[in-house]
Amino acid sequence: MEEFLKQIKTVPGTLGCMVYNDQGQLVSHVFPSIFDQKMLSAAVATVSENLPGLKDYTGGVRMIDFRFQNGRIVIKPVDGGCLVILCEGTINLQSLIISLNVAVKQVEKSLKNATSYPQQAAAVPSTSSGSKASPQDLIDKGPLASYLQGMQTTLAKFMGPMAKIIFLECVEKWLQDHQPVKATLPELVDIVAAEIGDPTRMSDYRQKVSTFL
Amino acid sequence: MFYCSDNSDEGAVGVMAQSSINRNKIVCRTISGMSLAAEGGKKGERVSEINQKLKAIPEVEHALVMTKDGAAVDDTSYEAEVLGAYTQFLARFGGKLGSQLGVGELKSVVVHGSDHHMFLLESKSHRLGVSAKGAGNVNALDAEIRRLLAPK
């Protein structure tokens, strides 16, 4: 899914792109790290709650183009979900529409193939529990291993050899409330940063980690 | 007597007529370079004339100028009430989404619908809602509406 979103993001002036499923759950996104999970989930909630309200009047929404003082938001409903694209005000909308038309089929196919967030989220823990995958396994060989290891290595620069143990505890804590998918990594960053304590160093950690997340 | 004056400090997308009714006078002030503006307040257009102008586009079904608190200006029809309600809804939707993603104030919206398109244009204190037939090309209609409202 991310691949298709990245394809849309290649249109000059596109800042970020996300897709949610018909349950109103964020499936995937390619937004810069400045847009955290909460922000994107709130936007998804707004779109998914309000979009049906326009159906009676329009007979079904094919696309919405919101123009703001500092940008543009394009909403493109697809079968099984909806795409939300954030762009610069100067974007060539026609270029974006062409890219969208190309990507929509693939996005719809991906949504149909049950790669949705909750299903994916549900699948990961069951796989984990089924195969007795521990937080350590997730760090070592899980689908997010490269990100997690990067975060752990970065933490070591701030906390020394204790970083490995602390990071493991953070991952355990993160897994209690979140699914181990890329979209929830910002929450893990929050948990880890809180362990550092010092606001300046916390901010430094966040900045370093954001470069590879 | 009514007059219009131009105020083009709001950016190209904030095309709207700001109007107020004072006894028998209608004062119409354009915002962001709308062409309803006349020179020096000597000539101008009523809000209903904005509607007429937009309705000259064959695909346009209805156009409505309303205050930001939802009161329709110069139109008491049922169609205006419905369009007004959806225009307000769309403005709230866009406003909330914009603040969540930090892109600032809403300027305009284009809704490409299957049966009907919707257009919303914002100004400081008023908004313009337009509905059009879904058979029309939404981008061409958007351009045509802006062209008609743009300063000449």
Provide φ and ψ at A126, rounded to 5°.
-65, -40
CATH code at position B130: 3.30.450.30
Phi, psi angle pair for B14, to nearest 5°: -85, 65
Specify the pTM: 0.64
Mean model confidence pLDDT for chain A: 85
Q: At what angle do helices A93-112 and A2-9 cross, to 10 degrees?
A: 180
pLDDT on residue A125: 43
What is the C-alpha separation between A186 and A164, in angstroms, rounded? 19
What average pLDDT score do residues B84-96 get?
95
Q: What is the domain range of residue B51?
A: 2-149
**CA–CA min distance A130, chain B (Å):** 39
- State the CB neighbour count (10 A cutoff) for residue B37: 24
Contact A59 B113 (CB under 8 A): yes
Q: Which of A38, A46, A67, A78 to mutate to test the interface with B (most CBs of B within 10 A)?
A: A67
Window from A30-44, B5-19, B47-61, B137-151 with minimum mean pLDDT: B5-19
Count how many pairs of residues, chain A against chain B, have C-beta atoms within 8 Å. Answer: 103
pLDDT reported for residue A90: 92
Determine, for residues A86 and B96 on separate chains, whether the beta-carbon distance falls below 8 Å: no
Instruction: Give the SS3 label for residue B110.
Output: strand
Strand partners, B31: B16
* Domains assigned to chain A: 2-115 (3.30.450.30), 120-210 (no CATH)
Interface test with A, best of B100, B114, B121 (most A CBs within 10 A): B100
Alpha-carbon distance A179 to A187, whole Å?
10
pLDDT 10s digits, A63-105: 999 999 999 999 999 999 999 999 999 999 999 999 999 889 8
Cα distance from B40 to chain A (closest Cα, Å)?
29
A98 in contact with chain B, both atoms CB, cutoff 8 A: no
Residue pair B92/B84 in contact by the 8 Å Cβ criterion: no
Residues of B with Cβ-Cβ distance to A66 under 8 angstroms: 94, 97-98, 106, 108-109
pLDDT average, residue stretch B107-120: 96
How many domains is chain B built from? 1
How far apart CA B114 and CA A77 sit, in angstroms, is: 12
Tokens 């505890």 locate to A169
Most confident stretch, B32-36, B70-74, B112-116: B112-116
Task: Test A86 with B103 for CB contact under 8 angstroms.
Answer: yes
Is the pLDDT higher at A172 or at B2? A172
Q: Enter the tokens of residue A168.
A: 């493991």
Closest by alpha carbon to B140, among B81, B59, B52? B59
